A and B are shown apart, each in its own frame.
Chain A
């Protein structure tokens, strides 16, 4: 058994890096736990349980600030939870090798997304009839601009199936997959960046719950892992968001790019060789 202090410390670091980079704790937590000798399925299970805590924690602040769009969240949740149930069910029956490779691929994807990440741009566009019928629009107080920003979402018919895919990745690999959800909100549905990140946080909580329920039934929630991981990741995420070092600093960004790449290559090699 891995000692409590080590598990706790690893989780604090994972939560901290996850919050700072906006990638979520699971991306760092799961590879590290497997390096410590935890079976990858158990690492995935405990990670997705901890995701409920970190995402609900930050979502609580954002909803009370009236930035989160509840209707967008609750419409898209219908699709992510079904995806998460499917994804987690696949993980349960899968052998471990493909899981390592899939995780490595998602890490590589995150690495590429971070490498090519440009300035956040937001273009308002024409709303279609279906999205209007869904009432997917709103306003939020932008304190930087000093005014209330009104916006209308669009292309919900593309957003919904894409969110099924995002939910599936979340359930399959035990991560929040917030980066994927934000991409869908930004690029497909045309939500302002602030609304898309905060609404994604809300969605991640229920999506993670759907995934966790599958792992609980499979007997993969190990309390000896869960207790230090939940406390550690939440503490790390709390410190990370308070510091607000949002990868603007070039050195931090470079460091994180290297970490992601090393973890990705390591996971893929382990997947090919067998852990």
Chain B
């Protein structure tokens, strides 16, 4: 580990990244990144969380040398992405949002080609391909053309291709988008193994809160091209003391009225309505629930359900981004 490729404490460091896209003549440029920065400790899973267009994918593109930042500095696995992209490319694996295998080749051929490009010998490339096919449980399909594979299997192959050269840092750009629940659970288990058994650093982007909560050791909520808040999922949730009260109503109109009334109850802060439900933060859920139900009952509003829960990442997101995650994702 004392080679020139050792990365020290942080496997990924991004500092004050800025990037603006021109969108065409007469239209204003789009600011994709606006001073984004974060650091990922070696051997951990780091989640970048945010809605589409927040800047997650642009960040991954810059860190994986696909794109250049207008300003700012970033290093991955000990190499500067702007000054030494070739070194970075040897040390990273990229699993992009879209399927990245060649549909007209078999799974095995895809893996062997990727390994050969990374400099493995023919023998090593074949052995590595066989190992990965086994590990991901896709060995049975290995010699069929990828275009005949299911989406979940092809996604596993994408990850296997990203791992073929034992990268130090793996970028997973929305790895479970479009997968069925079973394939999603398998992918989660696999990502957990990467950081655990393989001591690999994983940078994960997602717009699923439960995915970030489950997989990431630390995460950053990205909003409008900058990091809105950063920490471990537990820290972020603990920051929100108290409980979340959620009341479901029989219609949107009554939900609007209910939101106004809930806000007047003592001990309730920050009320938000979404469709037929009203969410509110409170310091003492158990005491507030009966009060809220009776207040709404007196006003003639029918309550379908009222629940109290510990804050979720959605509430963290709500607080920092000023809007509910589900409403924008």
Q: Do A and B come from one complex?
A: no
> What residues of chain B have their CB less than 8 Å away from a CB belonging to chain A?
none
